[in-house]
Structure 1
Amino acid sequence: MWTCPLCSRPFKQTNQQHYCGGKTVGDFLRGKSDVSLALFDHLLAKLATFGPIQLHATKSMIVLSAVTRFAFVINLGRNFVDMVLPFNEPYYDNLCFRKIGQVPGSNQYNHHLRLMFAEDINEEVLGYLQKAYAIGKNV
């Protein structure tokens, strides 16, 4: 493990590229609606059942990591939470992702998910979250 000397975040790879500016998770949550905050808290509670996670803020998102990054919360709207799960293959046969796109120049496919209700974190979504978490744990 390598720890950034500027922000003290641990990384699996030495000199891992990252953002170590002054943003905090609290900055992203400040001023958000009770609905989106409750959805975010519900998401974190579900993820905690898989194992420990860390949250890190960047300029534009909240990064969720186990050993490595496994998901990104990209938007907390008035009544929703948007997130991205990166996988090395597309999972087109699903009812939960609203967009799947290959990251240019890589073999990564970003799977975009919008949560509007606690019930949106159903068995299908939990399966993909667990798959992403396992990749982040390097299991």
Structure 2
Amino acid sequence: MTNQSHYCTTKDIGELFLGKPDELVLAFDQILQVTSQWEPNSVGASVHTIVFTSQKAWLIIKPMKSVLDVKFYYPEAIQSDRFHKVSFFSGKYAHHLRIQEVEQLDSEFFELLRIGYDYSLE
């Protein structure tokens, strides 16, 4: 008997936004538009999250009731007031940003995401 800690399923990204505020959809669309220019990069949905993958998964977005939980990993804790939470997980740090509106998606936000993306290529 296999002990599985999770399972994956293919889901339409749009399904994850059903019943969520339009502002979250707009924010996700902007994140997708900017990060789609970073290659290699593919996007897929699982049961509750949207996973961005380069050579490995580098960004996980979970649409919640009124926010997007945006998470990336890095080997060190990055200091920034932008983070909702930073936690150590499996030899690296998970950095969580909470997004409620498009206005939060400024150059600093995308610079932080780029750190996670570049780390995924190592």
TM over 0.5: yes
Q: Offset at 1:22?
A: 4.3
Report the equivalent of 1:110.
94
Q: Which residue of 1 aligns with 2:109?
A: 125
Q: Distance in 2 between matches of 1:74 and 1:28?
A: 8
Aligned CA RMSD, in angstroms, stands at 2.2
Structure 1: gaps (5+ residues): 1-17
Conservation of the 8 A alpha-carbon contact between 1:97 and 1:112:
yes
CA drift at 1:95:
2.1
CA–CA distance in 2 between the matches of 1:109 and 1:35?
28
Q: Are 1:62 and 1:74, in contact at CA under 8 Å, matched by a contact in 2?
A: yes
**Inter-CA distance 76–45: structure 2 relative to 1 (3 Å threshold):** farther
Higher-RCO chain (CA-CA 8 Å, sequence separation at least 6): 2
So what's the TM-score if we normalise by structure 1?
Answer: 0.72
Aligned length: 118
Contact preservation (8 Å) 1:25, 1:55? no
The runs of at least 4 consecutive aligned structure 1 residues that moved more than 6 Å come to none
The one-letter code of the counterpart of 1:129 is L
Partner of 2:83: helix, strand, or coil?
Answer: coil
2:45 maps to 57
Counterparts of 1:76 and 1:119, CA distance in 2: 18
Decide whether the 8 Å contact of 1:36 with 1:77 is kept in 2: no
User: Larger radius of gyration, structure 1 or 2?
Assistant: 1
Is 1:98–2:79 an aligned residue pair? no
TM-score between the two structures when normalised by the length of structure 2: 0.81
1:48–1:21 CA distance, 2 compared to 1 (3 A)? closer
Provide structure 2 residue ranges, at least 5 long, that are not aligned to the other structure. 1-5
Corresponding position: 1:41 with 2:29: yes
The alignment partner of 1:70 has SS state of: strand
